[in-house]
Amino acid sequence: MNTKNIQISDFNYPLPDERIAKYPLAERDGSKLLIYNKGVISEDHFHNLPRYLPQGALMVFNNTRVIQARLHFTKETGALIEVFLLEPAMPEEYQENFVQRDECAWYCLVGNLKKWKEGTLSRTIQMEGRTVELTATREGTHGTSHCIRFQWTGGASFAELLEAMGELPIPPYLNREAEESDKQTYQTIYSKIEGSVAAPTAGLHFTQRVLDALDAKGIDRQEVTLHVGAGTFKPVKSAEIGGHEMHSEHIAVRKQTVEKLIAHQGRAIAVGTTSVRTLESLYYLGEIVSAHADAEYLHVTQWQPYEGEHTMSTTEALQALLGYMMRHQLDVLHATTQIIIAPGYRYHIVEQMVTNFHQPQSTLLLLVSAFVHGNWRGIYEYALGHGFRFLSYGDSSLLIPEEEPEA
């Protein structure tokens, strides 16, 4: 199979607007759970998830936290300009950027750009009894985004500024404004590391009682970080997926997690497609550092999995990565990935997946199809026929694929 020639129209299905969950359930773990177990479909409620997982398994969560990435400015003419933060430009490191206290720069999408041809935007608010003025200045383009320099008074950190001035970027397909309740419900209960502009939504179903039940079953819980970019909502507009460009996303993985993966023979249960992309990228990062022992810039390209021979075992790739981290005295590995997972992809690390139900003709649906060996349509037809709620605030599924078919 030539993955690049896949027709995205083959991954369409009817999704009526009323099946898209506009709000979450009152109880996170009360959502429905579809279980796809090697071709057999059943259903339960999410709080019973642990009973379907193997005792002593390794389960990996994405601990990214959604930032209030939408900033609104009003020009003197009355024109409303929206600046949507994508990724930090200066400083480039997320945590360093968030602690800046007078200026920083981000790559951003700009709404109503035609009304902001030149000049500086400004906005003033009261923060903790002091007046804070924020200005935004365009400093060139970066692909389809714009580099925006922010400067502000008052001594607050940029993270505090976003908390006070920003708006949570809930998905556009909800067709509503963000509400105060979204600040809690659109974050996982284990979110820690700020940087995402979209939630890793499979994790929204987890409650403390579910996590406690996983612990009671001896399931080893580990966390990785992938900061979800706006590209997660980017539709595939080309007829063949070879014409679709994935956004690059930042990942961070602790040395302890790599060691745990090795201890579990390189196998894990992934919570969400973001954890899937992070874990599967580790195999290719292992390939890179095996070939280039002192590589400084670690990046998985979009089509790397489909090019050349990949003869390393998963354990060998993870051991190469661990060796790299030890040589460079890294407790946390930072890298970027553009990986696209689609039919034709061979999974290396993820053996089970917890995930929501995704948009038609999306790269996330391609990822699911690759995982269940093309049997996605039966899963989605069952979900549509049995009252499941779809997309970010919708219901969940546990996918346990058949054994990998022989090549």
Q: Which strand (E) or helix (H) includes residue 78? A: none
Q: How far is CA 376 from the centre of its chain?
A: 20
Domain boundaries, the chain: 3-65+186-400, 69-167
The mean pLDDT value for 314-332 works out to 97
Cα dihedral 117, 246, 200, 215, rounded to 10, equals -150
Residues in Cβ contact with 266 at an 8 Å cutoff, skipping those fewer than 6 apart: 313, 314, 315, 317, 318, 348, 349
Report the pLDDT value the prediction gives residue 407, as an integer from 0 to 100: 43
Q: Tokens in use for 91?
A: 């400083």
User: Rounded to whole angstroms, how far apart are CA atoms 255 and 227?
Assistant: 18
248 residue type, one letter = S
- Judged by average pLDDT, the poorest of 9-23, 230-244, 260-274, 378-392 is 230-244
Residue 90 exposed, middle or buried by CB count within 10 Å (0-12, 13-18, 19+): middle
Q: Integer distance in angstroms from the first to the last C-alpha of the chain?
A: 11
User: Rounded to whole angstroms, how far apart are CA atoms 221 and 97?
Assistant: 29
User: Rounded to whole angstroms, how far apart are CA atoms 352 and 103?
Assistant: 43
Block residue for tokens 């023979």: 265
Tens digits of residue pLDDT in 57-86? 999 999 999 999 999 999 988 899 999 999
Q: Are strands 350-356 and 268-271 parallel, antiparallel or unpaired?
A: parallel
Tens digits of residue pLDDT in 282-300? 999 999 999 999 899 999 9
Tens digits of residue pLDDT in 141-165? 988 899 999 999 999 999 999 999 9
Residues in Cβ contact with 8 at an 8 Å cutoff, skipping those fewer than 6 apart: 236, 238, 239, 240, 241, 244, 361
Q: Is the pLDDT of residue 331 over 90?
A: yes
Q: Is the pLDDT of residue 6 over 90?
A: yes
Confidence at 117, pLDDT banded by 50, 70, 90: confident
Of 120, 7, 141, 25, the closest CA to residue 73 belongs to 120
The mean pLDDT value for 271-287 works out to 98
182 residue type, one letter = D
Q: Is the pLDDT of residue 115 over 50?
A: yes
Residue range 3-65+186-400 forms a domain whose CATH class is: alpha beta
In the 8-state DSSP scheme, what is residue 48?
A: G
Tens digits of residue pLDDT in 83-92? 999 999 999 9
Which is it for the CA torsion 200, 205, 207, 211, positive or negative? negative
